[in-house]
Chain A
Amino acid sequence: MNVSVDNLPLLIGLILLSPPIVSVVGAIGLVEPLGLWRKEVFSRVLGWLGVLGSLVSLLGSIAMALALLQGSGAALVLPLGIGAYLLTDALSTYFILLVNAIAFVSSWNAVGYLRGARPTSRWRSPAAFHLTSQLFHVTMILVPLMNNLVALWIAMQATTLVSTLLVGFEDTRNAREAAWKYLIITSTGIIFALLGTMFLAKAAGNETLISAADAQQQSVMNWTFLMDHAGELESKLVRLSFLFVLVGYGTKAGFAPMHTWLPDGHGEAPPPISAMLSGVLLKSALYAILRFYTITNANLGEHNFTSAVLLGAAILSLLIATPFILKKNRFKRVLAYHSLEHMGIITFGIGIGGPIAMFGALLHVLNHAVTKALMFLAFGNIVRGYARASAQADFAIDQPAGVLRRMPITGAMLTLGGLALVGMPPFNIFMSELMMLWGAVEQLQPLSGGAQPALWWLYMAGVIVFLLSTMLIFYGLVRHLTGIVLQPQPAHERLQERVADLFPIGILMAMVVVFGVWIVPSLSQLIARCVDIVWGAA
C-alpha cells in the first residue's frame, strides 16, 4: 500500500477527528429536551458509532505508520499555530497505534457490556459512557502527538480529568472512593512533572537558544528543538528535570511507591475502561518519560544516570507488586497489581539499555497492553454473563467460579491470557521478556578493555529481582485463575456467549498467540526505528 508522507496531515485529521464525532452526537443526545439518552436504541447506535470511529482512527494510524516506514522515517513536525506543533516520528506513531488498537477493541466490548443496562440518570447512562470514553480516546491520542513538552503535560492532564469520570462511572461507594484517590494522587504527582518541565525550560532559557527557536519558528520547549540543541542545555538542570519528571509522570505510570491509586482505579472502573487504563494510559505516561529520557541522555552524552534512576524505580516496583499478586484478592485488583509489575519490567528493560533490551521493552509495551486488555475484557464478559444469568441488577458478582464449564470459550481465552501474562511460552510476553533478559546479559559482559561496565551491580540486582518476580507472579496468578476457571459451582448450565462479544477478545487472543512466534515485519521495523530514537541519543 502506497501512502505518501504528504497524506500525513489528512491521516492525522482522520485519527483525531473520528472519535470526537461520537462525543458530539452523544452530547446532543444528552440535551434534555431531546432526552435521547433514555432510549436504548440511541445508546446502541452511539456505541457502534464509537466502534466505527475507533476503527477509522486505527486504520488511519496504520496508514500513518506505513507512510513513515516507506518514506525517510524522519519526524514530521506540523505547525498548528500558537506555537503548538504536532510530532509524528516513529515513537509517537507507535504509541498512537497502540492507543487506537486498544481503544478499538475496548469500544467494541463496551457495546456488549452495556447491552440492556438501564440508565439511572443522564450522566450515568450508556450514552454518557460512550461520549466520555471517546473523549478519553482523543485525549490519549493527543499525548504522543504533542511536540511541545508543556502541551504534552496539558494533554496528560486532560487524560486524567476524563478518565476520572470513567473510573467513577458506576457511582458505587467504591467507585467514588477510587476516583477520588486516583485524581488526588495523580494530581499531586503531576505537579512534579510540571516542575520538571519548568526546570528544563530554565535549562533552555538562555538568549541564544530562544533566538535560535524564534529563527526556526519553533518553541524552545519543542522536543525536536531540544534534541537538536541538547548539548547546549545546562546539565545540572537537565538532571534535576529528569528526576522530577520521573516522580511526576511515574505517578501516572504507576511506579512504586506512587502506585497506591492503581489497584483501586483499575479495579473499580468498568472493564472496557480498565483495559484502556492498564493497556494504554500507563504507557502514555511512560511515553512522556521516554521523551525526557532521550533529552537527558543526549545532554549528558551517556546513559548511566538515567539507567541508574530507572533501574531503581523498576526494582522498587517489582519488589512491591509481587507480594500483592501472591495475596488472595479480588481478581481485578490482582490484574491491576500485574500492571504495576509489568510497568516495572518495561522500566527494567529501558534502564538496562542497549538496542536489544530497548527493543524488548518497547515490544513489551505492546504485548502487555494487548494481554492485559484481553484479561480485563474477558473477565468483564464473564462477570456480566454470570450477573445476567442470576438476574442481579447491581452486577455484584466479582469472583465467578467454574468459568470453563459455564462459558468455555471466554474461559479458555481468560486462561490462555493469564498464562501469557505470566510469561509462559509460546505467548507474546515471553518473547519480549526474553529479549530484555538477553539485552541485560549482553550489557553485563565485560567491556572491550576487560573492565566491568559501570553500575554492573545495579544491573545484576535488577536481573535477579526480575527473574524472582516473574517466577513468583506465575504462582500467584495461576492460583487466582484456578479458582475462577476450575472451581466447581452449584449452577453449571452453559451461559450464552455471543459472537459479537467474543470478537474483540478473539482479536486480542490472536495477537497474543501470533506475536509470541512472529512479529509483523512492518511492526518490527517501526519498533526498530523507535529504538533508534530512544537509544540513539545515548
Chain B
Amino acid sequence: MVELITPLQNVQNLLETGLLLTALLITMDRSISHIIAIYQIQSLLLAIVTVLSVASQIPESQRISWIILLIILLPLLLALVVRPLLARATILAHTRLTLSKWLGYRLHLLTSGRFGVRTEQVEQLSRDAEQEWLRPQDSFRVRGTYLLVFVAMLLAALLIASQIEAGDNPESIAGRIGLLASLVLALSGLYNTVIKQDIISQVIGLLMMDHGLYLAVVKIVPIPFPASFFVIGLYFYTLITMFILVILLPGVREVAESIELAHVSERSELKG
C-alpha cells in the first residue's frame, strides 16, 4: 500500500537537500571564512534533520530515546568550536581555550561576564586569522570541474543508496534522500581533503566527512539497538577529530610556517 509523504517528511527532505547544497558550496568556495560559515550552517541543518529522522522512527507510544540527544550533540559541538580552533591553529595563538572558557563564552551572553571570560579574546582570534583566510576564488573553469566531479559523486552515491533502500513506496524514496545526503557528504568531504590548497580547508573536508558519518548512522542503522554502539563509535571518532583540531593541526602549522600546502611540500623532506 502506498503511503503519502507527511509534511514532516517533506520538511526533512528539504533540509536534507539543503545539506547537499552546503556540500556543493563548500567544494566550490575557496574563501576559508565562507567555508567555515557554510560548515556551521550544515551542522545546524544536520542537528535538525537528526531530530526529525529519529523522532519519525520511534512509535508514538515511546518516549524519545536518549540516543537522539547524544547524536545531535556532535554536530552542534563541532559548529561551536570549529571557528576559534581553526583560527587558533592558523595564527598559532597560544590561548588556552579551556572548557570553562568555552562554557563561559556562550553563557556570557546571558550572564554578563559572570565567568569573567574575555569573549573579545575569542573574537579577536577569528579576526586575526581572517587575514590569512582571504584568498581569491578559483576561475570558472576550475569551479566547473569541481561541479562536474560533485555531480559524478552524487550519481555514485545515488547508485549506492538505491542498492540500500529498495522498494517503491514514498517512505523509502524519502529515506533515500537522507542516505544520499550522508554518502555525498562523506564523498565530497574526501574530495575536499584532496583538492583544497591549504591545511585548514583540508580539515573542513574531514569534518564534512564526520557529518556524513553522523547522518549515515541515523539513516542506516536500526534504532535503538545496535545503534548505541555506533553512537559510542561516533563519539570516539569525534574525540579524534578534536585531537586533530586542538593538537595536531597547530603542531603541523608551526613546522610548516604557513597554512598553504605548497609551502608544506616545498619544505618537506618526506618524499619518495
- Chain A interface (Cβ within 8 Å of chain B)? 83, 148, 150-151, 153-154, 157-158, 160-161, 164, 168, 173-174, 176-181, 183-184, 187-188, 190-192, 194-195, 198-199, 201-202, 205, 210, 219-221, 236-237, 240, 263-264, 267-268, 324, 327, 329, 333
Within 8 A of A (CB), among B245-272: 248-249, 251-252, 254-256, 264, 267-270, 272
Q: Write the nearest CB–CB distance from A35 to chain B, whole angstroms.
A: 21
Specify the chain B residue showing the minimal Cβ separation from A168: B251
Q: Does residue B170 face the partner (Cβ distance < 8 Å to A)?
A: no
In the complex with contacts A191-B212, A201-B222, A178-B229 CB distance below 8 A: no
Decide if B251 touches A148 in the complex (CB within 8 Å). no
Q: Give the complex CA separation of A150 and B237 in angstroms.
A: 12
Chain B nearest Cβ from A304, distance in angstroms: 19
Which residue on chain B has the smallest CB distance to residue A244? B160
Q: Is the CB of A201 within 8 A of B236?
A: no
Q: Is the CB of A205 within 8 A of B255?
A: no
Report how far A236 CA is from B163 CA in the complex, Å: 7
Is B73 in the interface zone, CB < 8 Å from A?
no
Query: A219 and B270 in contact (CB under 8 A), knowing A150-B230, A195-B186?
Result: no
CB distance A83 to B228 under 8 Å?
Answer: yes
Contact partner, B221, options A177, A201, A327, Cβ 8 Å? A201
Contact residues in B for A210 (Cβ distance below 8 Å): 222, 225
Cβ-defined contact, A183 with B213, below 8 A = no
Contact present for A176 and B164 (CB under 8 Å): no
Q: Assess the B220–A198 pair: CB atoms within 8 A.
A: yes
> Closest residue of chain A to B193, judged by CB?
A188
Contact check, A237 vs B186: say whether CB atoms are below 8 A apart. no
Q: Which residues of A contact B240 (CB under 8 A)?
A: 157, 160-161, 183, 187
A517→B30 CA distance, assembly (Å):
60
Q: Which residues of B contact A329 (CB under 8 A)?
A: 272
A190 surroundings in chain B (CB, below 8 A): 237
Check: B122 CB closer than 8 A to any chain A CB. Answer: no
Complexed CA–CA distance, A191 and B238 (Å): 12
Identify the B interface with A (CB < 8 A).
160, 163-164, 183, 186, 189-190, 193, 202, 206, 209-210, 212-213, 216-217, 220-222, 225-226, 228-230, 232-233, 236-237, 239-241, 243-244, 248-249, 251-252, 254-256, 264, 267-270, 272
Kindly report which residue of chain A lies nearest to residue B257, judged by CB atoms. A173
Nearest 5 pairs of A and B residues by beta carbon: A150-B229, A205-B222, A173-B255, A180-B252, A198-B220
Taking A158-B236, A161-B239, A177-B264 as contacts, is the C-beta distance between A198 and B217 under 8 angstroms? Answer: yes
Interface centre among B163, B202, B239 (most CB of A within 10 A): B163
**Is A187 within 8 A of B206, CB to CB?**
yes
A151 and B229 contact, Cβ closer than 8 Å, known pairs A160-B240, A202-B164: yes
Q: Verify A176–B213 contact, CB threshold 8 A.
A: no
- A389 CA to B211 CA, complexed, in Å: 53
Beta-carbon nearest neighbor of B234 in chain A: A194
CA distance A176 to B233 in the complex (A): 26
Closest chain A residue to B220 by CB distance? A198
Partner of B230, one of A174, A176, A188, A201: A201
Whether A83 touches B225, Cβ cut-off 8 Å, given contacts A160-B240, A187-B244, is: yes
Distance (whole angstroms) from the CB of B92 to the closest CB of chain A:
13
Q: In the bound complex, what is the Cα–Cα distance between A150 and B227 (angstroms)?
A: 10
Q: How far is the CA of A463 from the CA of B193 in the complex (A)?
A: 36
Residues of A within 8 A of B254 (CB): 176
Q: Which residues of A contact B249 (CB under 8 A)?
A: 180
Is B221 in contact with A198, judged by CB distance below 8 angstroms?
yes
| B237-A157 in contact (CB<8A) | yes
A158-B206 Cα distance, complex, nearest whole Å: 18
Nearest CB in chain A to that of B210: its residue? A191
Q: How far is the CA of A157 from the CA of B241 in the complex (A)?
A: 11
Contact between chains at A191 and B163 (CB < 8 Å):
no
Dominant SS at the A interface? Answer: helix
List chain B residues, Cβ under 8 A from A148.
229
Least CB distance, A177 to chain B, in whole angstroms: 6
Report A289 CB to chain B, min CB distance, Å. Answer: 18
Chain B's nearest CB lies how many Å from the CB of A235?
A: 11
A176 to B221, CA, bound (A): 37
Within the complex, the shortest CB–CB distance from A162 to chain B, in Å, comes to 11
- Distance (Å) between the CB of A234 and the closest chain B CB? 9
Contact A176 to B255, CB < 8 A, known contacts A184-B193, A237-B163: yes
A contact residues around B160 at 8 Å (CB): 240
- 22 residue pairs A–B, Cβ–Cβ below 8 Å: A83-B225, A154-B232, A154-B236, A158-B236, A160-B240, A173-B269, A174-B270, A176-B255, A177-B264, A178-B270, A179-B251, A184-B244, A187-B237, A191-B209, A191-B212, A191-B237, A194-B213, A194-B237, A202-B221, A202-B222, A219-B225, A221-B229
B residues less than 8 Å from A177 (CB atoms): 252, 255-256, 264, 268, 270
Measured in the bound complex, the distance between the Cα atoms of B230 and A153 in whole Å is 9
Question: Contact at A195–B270, with CB atoms within 8 Å?
Answer: no
Output the least CB separation between A328 and chain B (Å).
Answer: 8
Q: Are A150 and B226 closer than 8 Å at their CB atoms?
A: yes
* Chain B residues near A219 (CB-CB < 8 A): 225-226, 229
Return chain A residues, CB-CB under 8 Å to B244.
183-184, 187
Cα–Cα distance between A202 and B217 once the two chains are bound (Å): 10
Contact B272 A327 (CB under 8 A): yes
A184 and B233 within 8 A (CB): no
A contact residues around B226 at 8 Å (CB): 83, 150, 201, 219-221
State the CA gap A157–B244 with chains docked (Å).
Answer: 13
Q: Which residues of B contact A153 (CB under 8 A)?
A: 233
For B248, the chain A residues whose CB sits under 8 A away are 164, 168, 179-180, 183
| Contact residues in B for A191 (Cβ distance below 8 Å) | 186, 209-210, 212-213, 237
Known contacts A177-B255, A184-B193; A240 and B229 CB within 8 A of each other: no
Chain A contacts for B210, CB-based, 8 A: 191
Q: Please, which residue of chain B has its CB at the minimum distance from the CB of A219?
A: B226
Out of A164, A174, A199, name the residue touching B220 (CB < 8 Å): A199
Q: B233 and A157: CB pair below 8 A?
A: yes
Assembly CA distance A261 to B21 (angstroms): 32
Rounded to whole angstroms, the CA-CA distance of A150 and B244 in the bound complex is 22
A285 to B249, CA, bound (A): 25
Q: Which of A148, A164, A179, A191 has the most CB of B within 10 A?
A: A191
Residues of B within 8 A of A205 (CB): 221-222
Q: Output the least CB separation between B70 and chain A (Å).
A: 15
Among A173, A198, A236, A267, max chain B CB count under 10 A is at A198
Q: Least Cβ distance of B204 to chain A in Å? A: 12
For residue A531, give the distance in angstroms from its CB to the closest CB of chain B: 30
Whether A264 contacts B237 by the Cβ 8 Å rule is no
Asked if A188 contacts B221 (CB within 8 A), the reply is no
Complexed CA–CA distance, A188 and B244 (Å): 12
Give B41 Cβ to nearest chain A Cβ, in Å: 22
| Contact residues in A for B230 (Cβ distance below 8 Å) | 150, 194, 198, 201
> CA–CA, A329 to B268, complex, Å?
15
Question: Could you tell me the distance between the alpha carbons of A154 and B234 in the complex, rounded to whole angstroms?
Answer: 9
Query: Once the chains are docked, how many angstroms separate the CA of A69 from the CA of B268?
Result: 51
